[in-house]
């Protein structure tokens, strides 16, 4: 009886020009691979455990994909970055504990709700002064950007007279409360409950407020087959009990405590992966930056005004804009211009190489112009041409002058890779964020990350000094 009814509805929908969800699910997704964006740290919905991305959202989307016969490629980007990636067509859909709101419905199409949320307020464990909203007057509270907690806090802040400050990650706002920057935090109750069980140093002091439903999102008017398949798969998971099993797995659990050494060893694979990607991005960026720096550096000292102007424009643009703005442009803006997606490594290397190249351009220009002009005059008087004079006399001396600045720029570029975490590049800082977002041991994790950076930078600096002494005797 169900099959004829489905066929009838599909036919009627086609005649009326309305997509039929069942028809889309059956014909459009099987065997396909969809790129799904998600948050980086929103336990228990998405977080990393032993280097793997897990959580309610992850288990749900993977189970639905298996049920409906399609594959998913997960990109852990951060909530804001995931939405921007969806709007720029870098991903096909987003599942990130995303509340379904009227405002978001103007931009995205949502699935059936897969979780009913709610908002709670929490304070530091040792805070006995704040027990209700009335106690917040004249104080500051922390929220996570784009969440229902932020929406709720903004809606009552004038009534109760408190200030709202937003953070990109749950762990950051929890740390702000523990450090005394804010007196309370508003967060989705399952996330807050998981954090309290995991030892985030907070306690809840209010009852749960009514909240929005979570939904899976696609761009408005696109991927109706994927949306329909999600709805069908979700219904099936609820019917066979797998949905409740997934919820129970995470809502009744919390992170386990461990020693500092266990913290290092348990997360060693994640740190190693992050360090490897950091070094890869640094090496590629410096290679291209060196080429750009030499090329535009020579243009800067050219006698042709147009070439000098071209180099000046390049340097002005990339030295005059923040690295973060450049990263956002190459990952989110460029795909909209060229009509093609740009992977995160390419966007990161473009950002760092063009930025570092602008500084290297000035290093090359300064090195060449620092050589005594008399050297050029003397060489030319001896019959050497301009090219030979540059090759044999000016450049060798300029290299000795430029080398310390180049080494300094290498170090700066390596450290700048940490900024790529904002676009979801899984380098060392990003991996550290994943770790402390689950266990809330922020200080210890950051010490480990800082130590790894320090060791690598020290070794590379020593190596550069050795090479400098050998080639610039």
Residues 108-118: pLDDT tens digits?
999 999 998 88
Do 275 and 230 sit in the same domain of this protein? no
Q: Is 22 a residue whose pLDDT tops 50?
A: no
Least confident of 207-211, 382-386, 462-466: 382-386
Q: What is the pLDDT of residue 135?
A: 93
Do 153 and 225 sit in the same domain of this protein? no
Local structure of residue 134 (DSSP, 8 states)? G
Q: What is the pLDDT of residue 225?
A: 93
* φ/ψ (deg, to 5) at 86: -65, -45
Residue 26 belongs to domain with CATH number: 3.40.190.10
Do 34 and 100 sit in the same domain of this protein? yes
Do 288 and 206 sit in the same domain of this protein? no
Between 152 and 43, the more confident residue is 152
Q: What is the pLDDT of residue 21?
A: 39
Q: What is the pLDDT of residue 472?
A: 64
Give the model's confidence band at 26: pLDDT under 50 very low, under 70 low, under 90 confident, else very high: very low
Do 68 and 185 sit in the same domain of this protein? no
Do 121 and 247 sit in the same domain of this protein? no
Domain end residue (candidates: 198, 226, 251): 251
Task: For the chain, give the mean pLDDT.
Answer: 85
Q: Is 355 a residue whose pLDDT tops 90?
A: yes
Q: What is the pLDDT of residue 134?
A: 93
Do 390 and 333 sit in the same domain of this protein? yes
Give the domain range for residue 192: 116-213
Mean pLDDT of 160-175: 88
Q: Is 383 a residue whose pLDDT tops 80?
A: no
Residue 360 belongs to domain with CATH number: 1.10.3720.10
Tens-digit pLDDT profile for residues 216-244: 999 999 889 999 999 999 999 999 999 99
Angle between helices 442-471 and 395-416 (to 10 degrees): 170
Q: What is the pLDDT of residue 258?
A: 64
Do 295 and 417 sit in the same domain of this protein? yes
Q: Is 5 a residue whose pLDDT tops 60?
A: no
Q: Is 60 a residue whose pLDDT tops 80?
A: yes
Give the model's confidence band at 4: pLDDT under 50 very low, under 70 low, under 90 confident, else very high: very low
**Is 257 part of any domain?**
no
Give the model's confidence band at 97: pLDDT under 50 very low, under 70 low, under 90 confident, else very high: confident
- Highest mean pLDDT pick, 19-33, 369-383, 447-461: 447-461
Domain end residue (candidates: 223, 251, 279): 251
Residue/partner pairs of 445-452 with CB below 8 Å, 24 or more apart: 445/263, 445/267, 448/263, 448/264, 448/271, 449/271, 452/271, 452/275, 452/428
**Is 402 part of any domain?**
yes
Q: Is 17 a residue whose pLDDT tops 60?
A: no
Q: What is the pLDDT of residue 454?
A: 94
**Is 256 part of any domain?**
no
Do 93 and 9 sit in the same domain of this protein? yes
**Is 176 part of any domain?**
yes
Residue whose C-alpha is closest to residue 215's, from 325, 69, 101: 101
Secondary structure of residue 92 in the 3-state scheme: coil
Do 358 and 450 sit in the same domain of this protein? yes
Give the model's confidence band at 29: pLDDT under 50 very low, under 70 low, under 90 confident, else very high: confident
Cis peptide before 292 (omega within 30 of 0): no
Q: What is the pLDDT of residue 253?
A: 59
Tens-digit pLDDT profile for residues 393-429: 777 888 888 888 888 899 999 999 999 988 878 899 9
Q: Is 440 a residue whose pLDDT tops 80?
A: no
When divided into structural domains, the chain yields a total of: 3
Mean pLDDT of 330-357: 90
CA distance 262 to 90: 37
Do 356 and 415 sit in the same domain of this protein? yes
Q: What is the pLDDT of residue 242?
A: 94
Mean pLDDT of 50-60: 86
Give the model's confidence band at 471: pLDDT under 50 very low, under 70 low, under 90 confident, else very high: low
Between 250 and 389, the more confident residue is 250
Do 123 and 219 sit in the same domain of this protein? no
CB contact burial 275-284 (16+ within 10 A = b; e otherwise): bebbbebbeb
Q: Is 443 a residue whose pLDDT tops 90?
A: no
Q: What is the pLDDT of residue 469?
A: 76
**Is 366 part of any domain?**
yes
Give the model's confidence band at 263: pLDDT under 50 very low, under 70 low, under 90 confident, else very high: confident
């Amino acid at each position: 009886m169900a099959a004829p009814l489905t066929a009838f509805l599909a036919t009627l929908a086609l005649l009326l020009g309305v997509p039929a969800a069942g028809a889309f699910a059956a014909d459009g997704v099987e065997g396909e691979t969809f790129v799904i964006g998600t948050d980086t740290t929103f336990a228990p919905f998405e977080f990393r455990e032993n280097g793997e991305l897990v959580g309610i959202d992850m288990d749900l989307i993977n189970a639905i994909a298996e049920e409906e016969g399609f594959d998913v490629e997960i990109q852990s980007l951060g909530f804001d970055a995931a939405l921007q990636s969806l709007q720029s067509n870098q991903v096909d859909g987003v599942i990130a504990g995303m509340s379904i709101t009227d405002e978001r419905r103007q931009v995205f199409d949502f699935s059936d709700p897969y979780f009913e949320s709610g908002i709670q307020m929490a304070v530091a464990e040792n805070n006995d002064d704040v027990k209700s909203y009335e106690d917040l007057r004249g104080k500051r509270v922390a929220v996570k950007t784009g969440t229902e907690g932020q929406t709720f806090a903004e809606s009552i802040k004038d009534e109760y007279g408190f200030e709202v400050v937003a953070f990109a990650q749950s762990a950051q706002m929890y740390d702000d409360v523990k450090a005394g920057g804010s007196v309370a935090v508003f967060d989705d109750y399952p996330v807050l409950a998981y954090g309290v069980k995991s030892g985030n140093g907070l306690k809840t002091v209010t009852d749960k407020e009514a909240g929005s439903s979570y939904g899976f999102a696609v761009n408005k008017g696109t991927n109706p087959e994927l949306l329909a398949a999600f709805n069908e798969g979700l219904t099936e998971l609820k019917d066979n009990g797998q949905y409740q099993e997934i919820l129970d797995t995470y809502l009744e659990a919390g992170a386990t405590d461990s020693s500092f050494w266990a913290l290092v060893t348990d997360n060693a694979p994640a740190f190693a992966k992050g360090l490897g990607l950091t070094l890869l991005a640094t090496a590629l960026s410096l290679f291209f930056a060196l080429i750009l720096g030499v090329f535009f550096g020579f243009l800067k000292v050219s006698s042709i005004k147009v070439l000098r102007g071209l180099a000046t424009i390049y340097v002005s643009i990339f030295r005059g804009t923040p690295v973060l703005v450049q990263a956002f442009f190459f990952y989110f803006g460029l795909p909209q211009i060229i009509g093609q997606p740009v992977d995160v490594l390419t966007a990161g290397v473009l950002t760092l190489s063009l930025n570092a190249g602008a500084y290297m351009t000035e290093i090359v220009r300064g090195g060449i112009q620092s050589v005594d002009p008399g050297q050029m005059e003397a060489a030319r008087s001896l019959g050497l041409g301009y090219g030979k004079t540059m090759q044999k006399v000016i450049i060798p001396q300029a290299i000795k002058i430029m080398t310390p600045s180049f080494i300094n720029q290498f170090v700066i570029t390596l450290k700048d890779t940490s900024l790529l975490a904002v676009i979801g590049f899984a380098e060392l800082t990003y991996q550290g964020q994943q770790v402390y977002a689950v266990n809330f041991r922020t200080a210890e994790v950051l010490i480990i990350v800082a130590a790894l950076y320090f060791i690598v930078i020290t070794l590379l600096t020593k190596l550069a000094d050795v090479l400098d002494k050998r080639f610039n005797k």
